[in-house]
Structure 1
Amino acid sequence: MQVALVGLGVMGKNLALNLIEKGMTLVAYDKNPEVGAELLSCAQSLGMAERLHIVSDLGDMIRRLETPRSILLLVPAGELVDKVCSDLVEAGVEKEDIIVDCGNSNYKDGIARKLKYQNKFEFATMGISGGAEGARHGPAMMASGSEGGWERIEPWFEKVAASYNNESCFARVGQSASGHFVKMVHNGIEYALMQLIAEVYQLLRHGTGRSPKEVAEIFESWSEGNLNSYLLAISSHILSLETEQGESLVDLIDNKVGAKGTGLWTAQNALELGIAVPSLVAAVQARHLTNTIDTPAAKEMTYAAKSTESVEVDLDELKQAFYFASLLCYRQGLALIKGASRAHQWKVDLNKTLQTWRAGCIIRADYLDDVAQGVEFIDSLEEPALALRRTTGKAIATGLSFPVLAATQTYIATLSTPSNGHLVQAQRDYFGEHGIKTHSGETCHLTDLVEIDAKVR
């Protein structure tokens, strides 16, 4: 099997080595000749150089490939993707060739590109998760589309991807550009889980007075059971690291958190689709709050330091709360994917989606089987639900910040206890005559039900 790869950055280089290791012949290009030389050197040291061809221009790459061609793009999202696609058209790609955008592109751009290039070549999308290590040894691969070109390369991607219980973590999850949407939501869940772990650390460190090393030991013990996950494992390791002087590594790191955009896109698309994912949105806003000093509204968002309170925490209850909150973060993401699939008629298969997340990716976790069981299973978890409620109350009482923990408790409480929406409906109609809907399903106005004093109005 022949395939070409454009873009030899960290992800591209490692995926290239994975591809040739699995037996594919790879033609690779990057505008920076030094990274091509570095890749070739790595392939030579591994004894795989005979399956790798580094080219200096896209025209040479096209000429070396047998038709119909399969070309992977691992270039930064945005204008550069279109630039490379246009250059490939000029270089001679044909209608039967398939070009797969494997970067973190916005799914809306993928939809537009499928239309833009439909008479030039087959344009497909695929989200890849797992970082450099995953790309090298087996990532999660969330592909989409029904292009005929997939039939040529799908069997190879099944080998290149990570595997879980002898099942590949590659799948075509749905139609159109749904692969990039699924990867976007994957990253939104990733934001929420990272922030949730950080908040549990915050509660244990500053709420109960434990050291980072002590919190690391707690996380490590949780990882030995059904809470085992990649993010919890690396958090335990990070918290155990100390300098030669015995200083905790995390105490030397600035509090500002960066982001590359996919979390923001998740929040924006959820709002556009009218699907509530408060835990995922709270995680994005939590990152923004760490950077308030650099915003135009810095002075208006800077407040004096406040004292906090200590609290006693039952570790078993905290563990159950963390487990339950984690499940709800995943379920919110899946609800967003399902809602987008219906709106865009993508026919996304949630079981296939979860299969791609079981190994190789950043949000892999042993409890994904529990996530897959759905709402009925979550409804049966009475003790963990109570643990989340109690833990959230104790956490907030410290005066410390717990945006995802609080948002997750609000999410489940709003959907499972009496809400206050009826008063908000009445307020909207009172000042704007937007109408209200009664329990009987009737749509009317407040004035149809009661007489309101004109002076108050």
Structure 2
Amino acid sequence: MQVALVGLGVMGKNLALNLIEKGVTLVAYDKNPDAGEDLLRLAKSEGTAERLHIVSDIGDMVRRLQAPRSILLLVPAGELVDRVCTELVDAGVEINDMIIDCGNSNYKDGISRKLKYQNKFEFATMGISGGAEGARHGPAMMASGSEGGWERIEPSFEKIAASFNNESCFARVGHSASGHFVKMVHNGIEYALMQLIAEVYQLLRLGCGKTPKEIAAIFETWSEGDLHSYLLSISSHILRLETKSNEALVDLIDNRVGAKGTGLWTAQNALELGIAVPSLVAAVQARHLTNTKETHAAKEMKYAAKSTNKVKVDLEELKDAFHLASLLAYRQGLALIKGASRSHQWKVDLAKTLQTWRAGCIIRADYLDQIAKNVEFVDTLTTESDALRKVSGLAIASGLAFPVLTASQTYLATLTTPSNGHLVQAQRDYFGEHGIKTHNDGTCHLTDLVEIDAKVR
């Protein structure tokens, strides 16, 4: 098998080493010659350099490949992807060659590029998760498209991807650019889970007065059982880290959180599609709030510091609440994927999507088994639902901020208890004559049912 790879940054370099280790002959290019030299040095140290060819320009890369060609792009999303595609066309790629964008591109760009390059080459998309470690030893790979070129390289990708229960975490999840949409939602869920863990930490640390090491032990106990997940495990490890003077490392880190855009895209697309993902949106807004002190608006309107209250939280109830809130984040993400698939006619396979998340990726967790077997099982978790209500109330009483925890409770309550939407719709009709529906499904206006004083109106 012969593949080319453009972009030898952290992800590209590690994916390249993974490919050649699994027997793929790789032609690699990066505009920075030092990146190629570094990759070659690593390949020599691992004894796999005979399958690696570093080239100095894209033209040489294209000439070395036998047609039909398979070329992976691991370059920053945006304009650079189009620039590389243009260079590939100029270098002589052909209509049966397949170019796969493996970066964190916006799926809308993928749709546009498929049309833009349809008479030049086959353009496909694939989301990759797992960071540098995953790329090197087995990432989650969310591919999409029906291009014939996939058949050439699918067997190799199945080998380099992570595996769970002897099943590869590579899959073509759906049509068009759905692979990038699925990866985008994966990152939205990632935002929510990271924020949720941070909120549980905050409740235990400031609400209950526990030390980082004590919280690390709690997380470790949870992770040894049904709640085992990558994010919970690394959080436990982080909370145990101390400086040489025995200071908790977490206390020395600046509170502002960075973001690269995929979480924001998830929130934006959910709003555009009219699909509620409040836990995911709350996580995005939580990151924005950590940076508000630096904005002009925040400097013009300051708020005085407030005291917080100590609370007593039952650890078993907290565990149940965390479990359910985590599951709801996945469920919201899957609902968004399903809605987008229906809207765009992607035919996304949710079972295949979940399989790609079972290992190698950042949101991997043992309790995904429960969702994989039956998405609707969340409805049966009565004990966990009661715990989420109770813990959310205690958390709010502490005076601290818990955006994802409370958004998860609100999401569940909205779908399982009487809604207040009837009053809001009545308000809309009162001032805007937007119409109302009665219980017998009839459509009318308030004025058809009652007399409204024109002076009040």
Q: TM-score range by the shorter chain?
A: over 0.9
- TM-fit CA distance, 1:440: 1.3
Gaps in structure 2 of 5+ consecutive residues: none
- TM-fit CA distance, 1:439: 1.3
Residue 256 of structure 1 aligns to a residue whose secondary structure is coil
- Partner of 1:178 in structure 2? 178
Deviations, residues 63-110 of structure 1 (Å, cap 9, x unaligned): 000110000000000000000000000000000000000000000000
Deviations, residues 397-430 of structure 1 (Å, cap 9, x unaligned): 0000000000000000000000100000000111
- TM-fit CA distance, 1:302: 3.0
Is the Cα contact below 8 Å between 1:267 and 1:277 reproduced in 2?
A: yes
- TM-fit CA distance, 1:379: 1.1
**Mapping 1:122-133, distance limit 5 Å:** 122-133=122-133
- Partner of 2:218 in structure 1? 218
- TM-fit CA distance, 1:375: 4.8
- TM-fit CA distance, 1:301: 5.2
Greater CA drift, 357-366 or 374-383? 374-383
Q: Distance in 2 between matches of 1:216 and 1:386?
A: 25
The one-letter amino acid of 1:370's match is Q
- TM-fit CA distance, 1:443: 1.3
Q: Distance in 2 between matches of 1:341 and 1:296?
A: 40
Is the Cα contact below 8 Å between 1:77 and 1:103 reproduced in 2?
A: yes
- Partner of 2:398 in structure 1? 398
Is the Cα contact below 8 Å between 1:331 and 1:374 reproduced in 2?
A: no
Q: Distance in 1 between matches of 2:300 and 2:379?
A: 42
Q: Distance in 2 between matches of 1:369 and 1:382?
A: 19
Q: Distance in 1 between matches of 2:126 and 2:264?
A: 19
Q: Distance in 2 between matches of 1:70 and 1:390?
A: 54
Q: Distance in 2 between matches of 1:122 and 1:392?
A: 50
The one-letter amino acid of 1:288's match is H
Deviations, residues 358-401 of structure 1 (Å, cap 9, x unaligned): 00000000000112244531111100000000000000000000
Q: TM-score, structure 2 length as denominator?
A: 0.99
The one-letter amino acid of 2:73's match is L
The one-letter amino acid of 2:212's match is P
Q: Distance in 2 between matches of 1:40 and 1:375?
A: 45
Q: Distance in 1 between matches of 2:3 and 2:241?
A: 41
Q: Distance in 1 between matches of 2:207 and 2:52?
A: 54
- Partner of 2:323 in structure 1? 323
Q: Distance in 1 between matches of 2:90 and 2:173?
A: 31
- TM-fit CA distance, 1:347: 0.1
The one-letter amino acid of 1:58's match is I
Is the Cα contact below 8 Å between 1:292 and 1:301 reproduced in 2?
A: no
**Mapping 1:374-453, distance limit 5 Å:** 374-453=374-453
- TM-fit CA distance, 1:437: 1.2
- Partner of 1:235 in structure 2? 235
Q: Distance in 2 between matches of 1:219 and 1:129?
A: 23
The one-letter amino acid of 2:412's match is I
- Partner of 1:60 in structure 2? 60
Deviations, residues 171-199 of structure 1 (Å, cap 9, x unaligned): 00000000000000000000000000000
Percent identity reads 82
Is the Cα contact below 8 Å between 1:8 and 1:36 reproduced in 2?
A: yes
- Partner of 2:198 in structure 1? 198
The one-letter amino acid of 2:222's match is W
Q: Distance in 2 between matches of 1:64 and 1:375?
A: 47
Q: Distance in 2 between matches of 1:330 and 1:261?
A: 19
Q: Distance in 2 between matches of 1:296 and 1:266?
A: 26
- TM-fit CA distance, 1:298: 1.7
**Mapping 1:329-348, distance limit 5 Å:** 329-348=329-348
For the aligned residues, what is the CA RMSD? 0.7
Q: Distance in 2 between matches of 1:438 and 1:239?
A: 54
Q: Distance in 1 between matches of 2:198 and 2:332?
A: 19
Q: TM-score, structure 1 length as denominator?
A: 0.99
Q: Distance in 1 between matches of 2:269 and 2:435?
A: 27
Change in 2 beyond 3 A, CA 1:143/1:393? same
1:283 paired with 2:291, answer no
- TM-fit CA distance, 1:294: 2.1
Aligned residue pairs: how many? Answer: 457
